[in-house]
Amino acid sequence: MLFRQLFDAESSTYTYLIADTNTKEAILVDPVLEQVERDLKLLKELGLTLRYCLETHIHADHITGTDKLRSATGCLGIVPQKAHAACADCYIGDGEKLTLGEITIKAIATPGHTDSHNAYLVNNDRVLTGDALFIRGCGRTDFQSGDAGTLYDSVTQRLFSLPDDTLVYPGHDYRGHTVSTIGEEKRWNPRFAECSREGFIELMGNLNLPNPKKMMEAVPANEQCGNVTAVAVH
């Protein structure tokens, strides 16, 4: 398996490139519009065929590169079940799997940051946690139908039930971390190790964070899979 963690500095977003080294089929998870040329160049250099663009959720801090990548490669755009994105080619629900050669990617429903959010378990040894679980943190819950109690349950009941040695690859990082493990986060993530469910809800309700800079353009654009022209028409 080829596995690459790619970074967009402006939005602190991680995009993941996963490919089967035998079939040369690839998937990009959470691609960023401004990084499409980088991603296409890497796919070409590695001799890969992009089959899917897969989203963990409808993002508020960046516009997805799915529409542009779909136009360039003919790949399919996949979003979590119940996500507000009529543009998607497919929807993936809890427990459903994508297969690329010998690679299996299983969806784990982890709502709370938004009302339709998935984490993805890759070959049972690493999990792409999106904005549900960061390294020593988590995504916010104060917009897009987010709910702190739901997020607490998603993380503690769904993600923390994975084996402790499962590698954790988040959707963002703001402090230079790249990878963790489930065992580390259970022990050292202050938002879960040090908080009861009630304490977590109180904490998340008092963060008072500013809205993401691109929120007003990113959310409607991502509901169109990153097709900014379609948003302008509407």
In a domain, 230, yes or no: no
> What are the φ/ψ torsions at residue 198 (nearest 5 degrees)?
-65, -40
In a domain, 231, yes or no: no
How many Cβ atoms are within 10 Å of 8's Cβ, its own excluded?
20
> What are the φ/ψ torsions at residue 130 (nearest 5 degrees)?
55, -135
In a domain, 223, yes or no: no
pLDDT-based confidence at residue 143 (cuts at 50, 70, 90): confident
Q: Could you list the residue range(s) of the whole structural domain that residue 31 is in?
A: 2-208
In a domain, 222, yes or no: no
Kindly state the average pLDDT of the residues 31-42. 98
| pTM of the complete model | 0.96
Mean pLDDT estimate for the chain: 95
- pLDDT for residue 234 is more than 60: no
- pLDDT for residue 227 is more than 60: yes
Kindly state the average pLDDT of the residues 146-168. 98
Give which of 45, 3, 9 is closest to 27, Cα–Cα: 3
- pLDDT for residue 142 is more than 60: yes
In a domain, 96, yes or no: yes
From CA 77, how far away is CA 70, in angstroms rounded? 7
In a domain, 41, yes or no: yes
pLDDT-based confidence at residue 233 (cuts at 50, 70, 90): very low
Number of domains in the chain: 1
Instruction: Identify the bridge partners of residue 118 per DSSP, sorted by sequence position.
Output: 109
Find the CATH number of the domain harbouring 53: 3.60.15.10
> What are the φ/ψ torsions at residue 191 (nearest 5 degrees)?
-75, -15
Kindly state the average pLDDT of the residues 85-98. 95
In a domain, 62, yes or no: yes
In a domain, 213, yes or no: no
pLDDT-based confidence at residue 228 (cuts at 50, 70, 90): confident
- pLDDT for residue 54 is more than 70: yes
- pLDDT for residue 132 is more than 80: yes
| pLDDT given at position 229 | 77
- pLDDT for residue 210 is more than 70: yes
* Beta strands across the sheet bearing 2-8: 2-8, 13-19, 25-29, 49-54, 76-80, 90-92
Q: Are 140 and 209 in contact (CB under 8 A)?
A: yes
pLDDT-based confidence at residue 215 (cuts at 50, 70, 90): confident
